[in-house]
């Protein structure tokens, strides 16, 4: 399930309704889709698109999207670091960025005009949109794995438009959850002199 971290307010949201209520004023919608048993472990991209066809069709009608595909990212992805460099700096797109996470985890950092910078960690079953012209950036979690359905308003997709001076370096790219908690537990909180 998604969570939201608002670092400048030292606040985290995990309740689905709180998440939806927080995101709504920024034009961001969040949905939780059922994933249990819908696809096999080694499902092809076509099988994934077929399994989620009703949801994809609903989103196409709602948002004017014309095409959908599946992106697979793992540590074995060729040129992974170069690919991630395209998205881990603050940028915008000229159309909505819509992602449904089938597997894995990642973090969308949002820098809205009318609010604090916040991070939305997504995992399997989470659908989110980042509205057109919204400043944001994206990081993978430590396992560097995510598989998502993407929707586009134009068959050619979108390209990032980078900010001249981005604030992405001021915010941690970390994911919350077992990986983070394990690392925090390994740190001895007692300093000996």
Check whether 189 has a pLDDT greater than 50.
Answer: no
- Residue 36: phi and psi, rounded to 5, are -60, 120
User: d(Cα 19, Cα 181) in Å, to the nearest integer?
Assistant: 22
Q: Which of 177, 180, 66 is nearest to 126 (CA)?
A: 177
**pLDDT given at position 173:** 67
User: d(Cα 75, Cα 73) in Å, to the nearest integer?
Assistant: 7
Check whether 176 has a pLDDT greater than 90.
Answer: no
**pLDDT given at position 44:** 95
Eight-class DSSP state of 168: G
Q: What is the mean pLDDT of residues 167-191?
A: 52
Dump pLDDT digits (tens) for 58-67. Answer: 999 999 999 9
CA distance to 2, 36, 45, 55, 130, per residue, from 51 (Å): 22, 12, 10, 9, 24
Q: Has domain 3-39+64-159 been given CATH number 3.40.50.2000? A: no
Dump pLDDT digits (tens) for 52-98. Answer: 999 999 999 999 999 999 999 999 999 999 988 888 899 999 899 99
User: d(Cα 38, Cα 15) in Å, to the nearest integer?
Assistant: 24
pLDDT tier, 183 (very low <50, low <70, confident <90, very high otherwise) = very low
Least confident of 3-7, 117-121, 173-177: 173-177
Q: Taking the domains of the chain in order of start, what are their residue ranges? A: 3-39+64-159
Does the predicted model carry a pTM greater than 0.95? Answer: no
Return the higher-pLDDT residue of 31 and 157. Answer: 31
Q: Which residues are annotated as a binding site for Ni(2+)?
A: 91, 93, 97, 136
Q: Which residues are annotated as a binding site?
A: 91, 93, 97, 136
Q: Which residues are annotated as a binding site for Fe(2+)?
A: 91, 93, 97, 136
């Amino acid at each position: 399930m998604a969570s939201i971290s608002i670092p400048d307010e030292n606040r985290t949201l995990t309740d689905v309704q709180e998440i939806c209520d927080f995101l709504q004023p920024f034009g961001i919608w969040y949905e939780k889709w059922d994933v249990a048993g819908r696809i096999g472990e080694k499902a092809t991209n076509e099988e994934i698109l077929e399994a989620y066809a009703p949801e994809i069709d609903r989103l196409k009608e709602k948002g004017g999207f014309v095409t959908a595909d599946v992106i697979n990212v793992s540590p074995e992805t060729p040129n992974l670091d170069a690919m991630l460099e395209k998205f881990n700096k603050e940028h915008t797109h000229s159309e909505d960025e819509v992602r449904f996470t089938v597997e894995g985890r990642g973090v969308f950092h949002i820098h809205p005009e009318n609010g604090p910078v916040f991070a939305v960690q997504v995992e399997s079953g989470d659908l989110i949109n980042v509205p057109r012209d919204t400043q944001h950036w994206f990081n993978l979690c430590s396992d560097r794995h995510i598989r998502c359905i993407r929707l586009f308003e134009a068959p050619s997709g979108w390209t990032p438009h980078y900010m001249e001076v981005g604030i992405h370096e001021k915010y941690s790219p970390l994911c919350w959850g077992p990986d983070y908690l394990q690392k925090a537990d390994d740190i001895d909180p007692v300093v000996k002199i």
